[in-house]
Amino acid sequence: MSYSDKILAINNDLPIRTDLPVHSGKVRSVYWLTAADSQRLIQQKSYNVPLDTPLAIMVISDRISAFDCIWHGENGLSGVPGKGAALNAISNHWFGLFKQQGLADSHILDIPHPFVWIVQKAKPVRIEAICRQYITGSMWRAYEKGERDFCGITLEDGLVKDGKLNELLFTPSTKGILRNIPGVPEADDVNITRQNIADNYQAFNFESLDDISLYETLLRDGFNLIAKALADIGQIFVDTKFEFGYVKDLDGNNKLIYMDEVGTPDSSRIWDAHQYRQGMIVENSKEGFRQLLLNHFPDPDILLNKNRMPERESLARDNALPLEVLLDVSKTYIGIAEKITGKKIVLSAKPKAEIIQILRDEYQLVD
């Protein structure tokens, strides 16, 4: 069986019963269930949510995105074998630990298949909550050019590339385009300060000023929990992105939860600790793939310059990457997932057929 058979590249064409359009992102697709199916599953599966909670099926893919583009390989390879299952397994692991340690719940209610989550509808906080323990990547590039102010935090002189910061930094950015917020440009992914958030907390979908402090506590506690667990298996948690939202509890009150994915190689940088102590950076995350792309193409500015997006999209569309590149990424994702979870990642032989069968037979969501 070829690698292509084991890859789920297109995940927005499943025959799941829904009366709303499928929402498809770079990696995941979301199918909103009908009110009747949501209510039936809440009762049948005893989900701990109010009976009128809208539910969705979230299906991950094996697609790989970098620099806001989807990349593909030779021989029709349109994804990375094992990537989707690895990402879900890692998120499931961390979300489970967060709940066990009393931090906060997540949006996941059920895991019917390694590629699939059943989630409850959440009202997202409109912030990409980025935590940094080391100075690297875009922050280092800006620092090297003389910038010292990051999201209202002033960094001292004399920091070194890839060095550990004195404290964990929160450098949030906007999620989506927010309008009419003083001092915040109307563009996606714009750096913001804590003061911006506090002054306009409702525009960012926070319910109260106190919830900003709660969000910061969940950021710090979530980061530290993952960092300690990774240190125990010889890995360094460099930086990551968290996302949050509100759901209703059984009494109808709003509660802040973790959502999207957490602590994965897609949303984080993870370094090998032994190699770092030897003065080398070995990436166990998508950053390694990003660096490879920057080295692979003769003009890396296309990948880094947002004003050259049409050229970048052409680059991704017209260039099939060598097979070994995507297979190396596969090894990285599967390897770090197995280290984190302590469990083997098993590649589905025919993932789409498996998902359809489970959702038909066990959840009655396919006609």
The domain spanning residue 67 has which CATH number?
A: 3.30.200.20
Do both 130 and 105 map to the same domain? no
Q: Hey, what are 214's tokens?
A: 């709660």
Do both 273 and 311 map to the same domain? no
Boundary residue ending a domain (256, 277, 298): 277
Give alpha helix (H) positions in the chain. 3-6, 35-44, 83-100, 137-144, 194-199, 210-232, 273-277, 287-296, 301-304, 309-318, 323-341, 351-361
Do both 151 and 260 map to the same domain? yes
pLDDT band at 148 (very low <50, low <70, confident <90, very high): very high
Report the percent of the chain where pLDDT is more than 90: 93
pLDDT score of 329: 96
Question: 228: which residues sit within 8 A by CB, 6+ positions away?
Answer: none
Picking from 235, 244, 172, 238, the residue whose alpha carbon sits closest to that of residue 207 is 244
Do both 9 and 88 map to the same domain? yes
Report which DSSP code applies to 306: G
pLDDT score of 183: 87
pLDDT score of 113: 97
| Rounded alpha-carbon distances, angstroms, from residue 19 to 16, 22, 35, 41, 113 | 10, 9, 9, 16, 23
**pLDDT of 48 over the 80 cut:** yes
**Which residue segment(s) compose the domain that 149 sits in?**
123-277
Please name the residue that has the structure tokens 């506090």.
Answer: 198
The domain spanning residue 214 has which CATH number?
A: 3.30.470.20
| Rounded alpha-carbon distances, angstroms, from residue 289 to 18, 29, 82, 132 | 36, 23, 15, 20
Average pLDDT, stretch 3-23?
A: 92
**pLDDT of 116 over the 90 cut:** yes
Do both 117 and 131 map to the same domain? no
pLDDT band at 198 (very low <50, low <70, confident <90, very high): very high
Do both 114 and 133 map to the same domain? no
pLDDT score of 4: 75
Do both 129 and 270 map to the same domain? yes
Do both 143 and 155 map to the same domain? yes
CA–CA gap between residue 183 and residue 118 (Å, rounded)? 38
| 188 vs 40 pLDDT, higher one | 40
**pLDDT of 1 over the 60 cut:** no
Long-range CB contacts (within 8 A, 24+) of 207-216 = 207/246, 207/254, 207/256, 211/256, 214/256, 215/125, 215/127, 215/129, 215/244, 215/256, 216/170
Instruction: Provide the residue type at 101 as one letter.
Output: Q
**Crossing angle of the two packed helices 83-100 and 323-341, in degrees rounded to 10:** 20
pLDDT score of 6: 85
CA–CA gap between residue 193 and residue 184 (Å, rounded)? 9
Do both 248 and 309 map to the same domain? no
Picking from 211, 235, 236, 240, the residue whose alpha carbon sits closest to that of residue 223 is 240
pLDDT band at 37 (very low <50, low <70, confident <90, very high): very high
pLDDT score of 188: 87
**pLDDT of 104 over the 80 cut:** yes
pLDDT score of 240: 97
**pLDDT of 147 over the 70 cut:** yes
pLDDT in tens, 264-298: 999 999 999 999 999 999 999 999 999 999 999 99
Average pLDDT, stretch 60-66?
A: 97
Do both 254 and 325 map to the same domain? no
Average pLDDT, stretch 188-195?
A: 92
pLDDT score of 365: 98
Do both 345 and 265 map to the same domain? no
pLDDT in tens, 315-351: 999 999 999 999 999 999 999 999 999 999 998 889 9
Compute the mean pLDDT over every residue in the chain, rounded to the nearest whole number.
95
Counted domains in the chain: 2
Q: Is the pTM of this model over 0.75?
A: yes
Average pLDDT, stretch 234-238?
A: 98
| Rounded alpha-carbon distances, angstroms, from residue 184 to 199, 207, 213, 272 | 11, 20, 21, 37
Beta strands in 5-96 (DSSP E): 23-24, 28-32, 55-60, 64-66, 69-73
Other C-beta atoms closer than 10 Å to the C-beta of 189 total: 12
CA–CA gap between residue 234 and residue 357 (Å, rounded)? 39
Average pLDDT, stretch 226-233?
A: 98
Answer positive or negative: Cα dihedral of 70, 186, 195, 146.
positive
pLDDT score of 284: 95
Do both 244 and 139 map to the same domain? yes
Do the beta carbons of residue 37 and residue 17 sit within 8 Å? Answer: yes
pLDDT band at 204 (very low <50, low <70, confident <90, very high): very high
pLDDT score of 217: 97
CA–CA gap between residue 58 and residue 293 (Å, rounded)? 29
